[in-house]
Amino acid sequence: MNFLAYFVTFENLHEVRRLCHWGPVIALSVIAICSTMAILDSIIWYWPLDTTGGSINFIMLINWTVLILYNYFNAMFVGPGYIALGWRPENQQEAQYLQYCRVCQGYKPPRSHHCRKCNRCVMKMDHHCPWINNCCGHMNHAYFTSFLLLAPLGCSHAAIIFIMTMYTQLYERISFGWSTVKIDMSAVRQFQPLMPFSVSAFAATLFALGLALGTTIAVGMLFFIQMKVILRNKTSIESWIEEKAKDRIQHYQTGEEFIFPYDLSSRWLNFKQVFTWSGTPKGDGIEWPVHPKCHQHTLTIEQLKQKTDKRVRSQVQYRAVEDYNGACCPLKKGLQTFFRTPCTEEPRIPLSKGDTILATRGTKWWMYGDKVLNDEQMRVGERVRGWFPRRCVEKCHYDTAASDSTSEKKVN
């Protein structure tokens, strides 16, 4: 009972709600379909109990499934590691180099960012992944990357089983005209069990083959992206910060030299920051080993400079001229707006005529920004930001200097 109580706690049961999301539902469905069909087809194609090759094939198949699910659930339930609510640095003077999060009522340590989906500040946040319905960050980065490696390997093995099953079952039934394509299957045919390969079984195998090949390609590409992140010790968010740092330095011609602080100048050392024999990444998620020419707050100071620069040259004031209900794909706002909706989980914000919005970025058909709130809403820390159709707003042509003080009150 003590062993069971170690795993089944209220906190863990509370985390089970992460499964109730389209991402895990689809991911686990793909794993279940491919694994189940591969096991059934391996019994039809290569009976595992009478040959050494069949036994090895079957054991490897079960092994892939177990390892994939182990890393998937660890990536989901171990989580990225969250900053304690109300966190403050031990040395209060360091607070001037950090951003303050009003939602968590605390400061953000280096490399941490606030996730709107998780509603918490996340250690070394890379991105929020809908497939695990959690963030990829400090604590679960190794599990997440291992899952991205194992899933294509397991699906490749399953795809081979699907192809060979269809070949062996249809070779003697249908003539494909493959007079030169012959595979000696006498060893595996010798011990075939009595399991019928019907039309429905063929259709299911063909469907599972499509899932396996699609997963191999899509997830394999994600694996290479994550390995690039790990070997450079630079998250996707930090890559964007570095790019904006170079743009800021070039725009103002300051002559600064920005050195990314967390690249240890060795891919092996960067790799060992994430992958360890214990399974727990190095560091506490607060302090990090840095480049000799940098210090703990090199990146956070650059972030503060970029936030200040963003207020100066990025925020443009717009006024809503049409109502917008916050729909993801609003058909009433035009076909281009409907089909060019941003492919992101970032929220949409409803608008009413007369609302004022500070836009920070956008596309030809959509814009992203913060809605200007009244004093009472700002006092309680409320913030409304997201995407809205460009046709619903028009740029304010009057002097917006009076509104700059309002925008400066917004905390990122």
375 shares a domain with 269: no
Answer yes or no: is pLDDT of 23 > 50. yes
Answer yes or no: is pLDDT of 351 > 90. yes
Q: Is residue 1 part of a domain?
A: no
Q: Is residue 286 part of a domain?
A: yes
Answer yes or no: is pLDDT of 406 > 50. no
157 shares a domain with 70: yes
pLDDT at 303: 94
Strands (E) in 278-351, as ranges, are 316-320
pLDDT at 408: 43
- If you average pLDDT over every residue of the chain, what do you get? 85
Q: Is residue 145 part of a domain?
A: yes
| 8 A C-beta contact, residue 378 and residue 339 | no
| For range 29-49, the mean pLDDT | 91
Contacts of 188 (CB under 8 A, 6+ apart): 45, 46, 47, 51, 53, 54, 168
pLDDT at 4: 43
Supply the DSSP symbol for 56. Answer: H
Q: Is residue 92 part of a domain?
A: no
305 shares a domain with 220: no
Task: Mark which of 264, 284, 311 sits at the end of a domain.
Answer: 311
Task: Mark which of 311, 339, 356 sits at the end of a domain.
Answer: 311
Lowest mean pLDDT segment, chosen from 72-76, 168-172, 337-341: 168-172
Percent pLDDT > 90 in the chain is 57
Task: Mark which of 280, 311, 342 sits at the end of a domain.
Answer: 311
Closest CA to 154 of 55, 36, 276: 36
| 8 A C-beta contact, residue 127 and residue 177 | no
Distance CA 1, CA 150 (A): 33
Distance CA 337, CA 124 (A): 34
Closest CA to 45 of 182, 219, 163, 174: 163
Three-state DSSP at 355 gives coil
Task: Express each pLDDT in 107-145 by its tens digit.
Answer: 999 999 999 889 999 999 999 999 999 999 999 999 999
Answer yes or no: is pLDDT of 402 > 50. no
pLDDT at 142: 96
Q: Is residue 54 part of a domain?
A: yes
Task: Express each pLDDT in 269-326 by its tens digit.
Answer: 999 999 999 888 999 999 999 999 999 999 999 999 988 887 776 567 899 999 999 9
Stated length of the chain? 412
Supply the DSSP symbol for 370. Answer: E
Which residue range forms the structural domain that includes residue 385?
316-395
Q: Which of 129, 135, 155, 392 is catalytic?
A: 129
Contacts of 304 (CB under 8 A, 6+ apart): 97, 99
In the annotation, is 118 catalytic? no
Q: Is residue 21 part of a domain?
A: yes
pLDDT at 314: 59
Q: Output Rg (C-alpha) for the chain, integer angstroms.
A: 27
354 shares a domain with 378: yes
pLDDT at 105: 93
Q: Is residue 29 part of a domain?
A: yes
CATH number at residue 367: 2.30.30.40
**230 burial type by CB count under 10 A (0-12 exposed, 13-18 middle, 19+ buried):** buried
Write out the DSSP string of 257-279. ----TT--S-HHHHHHHH--TTS
Which of the four pLDDT bands, split at 50, 70 and 90, describes residue 395?
Answer: confident
Supply the DSSP symbol for 46. Answer: S
157 shares a domain with 41: yes
Lowest mean pLDDT segment, chosen from 46-55, 57-66, 122-131, 154-163: 46-55
| For range 77-106, the mean pLDDT | 94
Distance CA 1, CA 6 (A): 9
Percent pLDDT > 70 in the chain is 85
244 shares a domain with 227: no
Q: In degrees rounded to 5, what are phi and psi of residue 55? A: -65, -45
Lowest mean pLDDT segment, chosen from 167-176, 227-236, 350-359: 167-176
227 shares a domain with 240: no
Q: In degrees rounded to 5, what are phi and psi of residue 98? A: -115, 155
What is the CA angle 215-217-221, rounded to 5?
A: 110
243 shares a domain with 307: yes
Q: What is the largest CA-CA distance in the chain?
A: 86
344 shares a domain with 227: no
255 shares a domain with 325: no
Q: Is residue 306 part of a domain?
A: yes
| 8 A C-beta contact, residue 285 and residue 81 | yes
Supply the DSSP symbol for 344. Answer: S
**pTM (predicted TM-score):** 0.78
148 shares a domain with 14: yes
| For range 326-354, the mean pLDDT | 88
Distance CA 374, CA 382 (A): 10
The structural domain count of the chain equals 3
362 shares a domain with 243: no
Answer yes or no: is pLDDT of 182 > 80. no
